[in-house]
Amino acid sequence: MATSAWQGTTAIVTGAGSGIGRALTLALARRGVQVVATDVNDAAVQQVAAEGGASVRGEVLDVRSADAVRAIVEATVDRQGRLDYLLNNAGMAVGGETDDIQQVAWERILDVNLRGVIHGVLAAYPQMLKQGFGHIVNTASLAGLVPGPLLTPYAMTKHAVVGLSTSLRIEAATRGVRVSALCPAAIETPLLDSKGAPDLPAPIWVPDMRRFLTRLAGPPHPVAAFAEEALDAIERNQAIIVVPGRARVAWRLARLFPGLVERLALSAVQAERADR
């Protein structure tokens, strides 16, 4: 595990209360990073801060608020004197047949998965330009690179995050700032067993996410291993970080043989509908 490049740096992680965000926060702390772990769930993020020790500070943050995101960035810079990494990780999933997903769910996932990332970029990017360095890492998904049937709202937002990241990366490259898109396949997190936000109207049918994603991309990858692989790739300044390795195969297949990937995805959808 590499540490020298990370020691003494400062990072903000959104959506750090569980799953990928929690694992990234703890992995960063092990590498000597001062981490501001943020999440809309105060109890969850304070637990992560306790696990991470003195180098992790827990803060409540709803990424849907541009003002709140900007305030976290400004407070971090005031306290630490710099911001080396922003990991825009907060996100949610909405699953089901597209015609059965209500407008309010589409609006919520846009607010969290896309506008939340935009808020982070607009808050952190000017600071990184001012200091002349920094790395923005936006969590997208393999579903931002290949089709995501039965997860259409989610795939829509993640494709947008990939587009934002790869475009900004080129703009930022000559100005000292790095930008990467983090694109995990199925990772072993509570999201796999979630039925969606409890305050949103549920579709008539939500697929079994664990079973469906396994059909699409193979069994879930351990979250701790994912975090270490992701940080290694961030250190190498990879533009698009796809984890695990078999997911990179799926990505290449989608680019070279889109018809084959469509047929495989359709087969997974039909199998899931049959098990409904």
pLDDT band at 195 (very low <50, low <70, confident <90, very high): confident
The tens digit of pLDDT for each residue in 93-114 reads: 999 999 999 999 999 999 999 9
Judged against a pLDDT cut of 50, whether residue 1 lies above it is answered with no
CATH C-level class of 10-274: alpha beta
Say how many CA atoms lie within 13 Å of 169 toward its Cβ: 17
Q: How much is the mean pLDDT over the chain?
A: 96
> Mean of the pLDDT values across residues 108-137?
98
What does the pLDDT look like over 198-216, one tens digit per residue? 899 989 999 999 999 999 9
Residues 243-263, mean pLDDT to the nearest whole number: 94
Give the residue numbers annotated as catalytic, written as ranges: 154
pLDDT band at 247 (very low <50, low <70, confident <90, very high): very high
Q: List pLDDT tens digits, range 31-56.
A: 999 999 999 999 999 999 999 999 99
Tell which residue, 204, 106, 202, has the closest CA to residue 153: 106
The answer to whether residue 255 scores a pLDDT higher than 80 is yes
Euclidean distance between CA atoms 269 and 249, whole angstroms? 20
The pLDDT assigned to 3 comes to 59
> Does residue 2 surpass a pLDDT of 80?
no
CA distance 25 to 36: 8
Proportion of the chain above pLDDT 90, given as a percent: 93
Of 36, 37, 33, 31, nearest to 15 by C-alpha is 37
Rounded average pLDDT over 56-85 = 98
- Give the closest residue to 60 by CA, choosing from 51, 52, 69, 18: 69
* Span 66-94, average pLDDT: 97
Residue 132 gets the label, from left (phi > 0), alpha (psi -120 to 50) or beta, of left
Residue 151's DSSP bridge partners are none
Any residues with CB less than 8 A from the CB of 20 and at least 6 apart, and which?
89, 139, 184, 187, 189, 223, 226, 227
